[in-house]
Chains A and B, each alone.
Chain A
């Protein structure tokens, strides 16, 4: 009888505050989860690389440089010339050291010379960790 009464009491837990909190959490995660994607240029058609190593843990200091099919360079949708990119990378190296990974999102149709100008800017700034992004699996 005593056990029965205990379970009855547990049944009366007030659900409302818990549901409120859960909804708040859901809204928080829904609004924050895709922030990073908004900074990427969606017009870039990445080349396919079905065997490439998947992106594992990402360094938060990573610099993503977008190069579209006409060779226009941009970081977080802000277009810039190769000279400006060099200055930006120099500044980044001065602030965080030369171990920052540079990730190049190049369109598959971009001529290599435009990719090269980004890599040269990286070399001039002293960055040596260069990666190319490719699509491993189309969603």
Chain B
């Protein structure tokens, strides 16, 4: 008796769910197949020396670490190193002072990935004062 009354009151209850679930599954499968996972991106912050010459001179402290980026390698304080060696030196440096200013000079011909490599190594060792300069 009670059951019959409920049926009469609720026409929405016999809404056919099956086709809708079919459609939703189709949509779900479509999106799962077509989705392209995005690469996780990193943003590498750098400082640029201001065009103001005075400040640039002030930055030229002798204790500053200079990294030069060449198309075929790196030098740190005039000493040629490879990436692994650079990483080791930066790790040692970071254990002394993380706020040490690092002046990265990039030659015009070196590919951008080399510079990114150095910035990545600095980020790995949590060095934050990175200044990027370019040579002609």
- The chain A residues found within 8 Å of chain B, CB to CB, are 4-5, 8, 11-16, 19, 26, 30, 37, 46-55, 67, 103, 106-113, 115-116, 119, 122-124, 128-139
Contact = CB atoms under 8 A, between A and B. Distances in A.
Interface residues of B, number: 46
Interface in B25-77: 27, 31, 36-48, 50-51, 69
Contact of A8 (B6, B40, B47, B114): B6
Nearest to B9: A12
B39 A137 contact: yes
Nearest to B107: A112
A67 B115 CA distance: 15
Interface of B: 2, 6, 9-10, 12-13, 15, 20, 27, 31, 36-48, 50-51, 69, 106-117, 119-121, 123-124, 132, 134, 136
Contacts, number: 152
Which secondary structure dominates where chain B touches chain A?
A: mixed
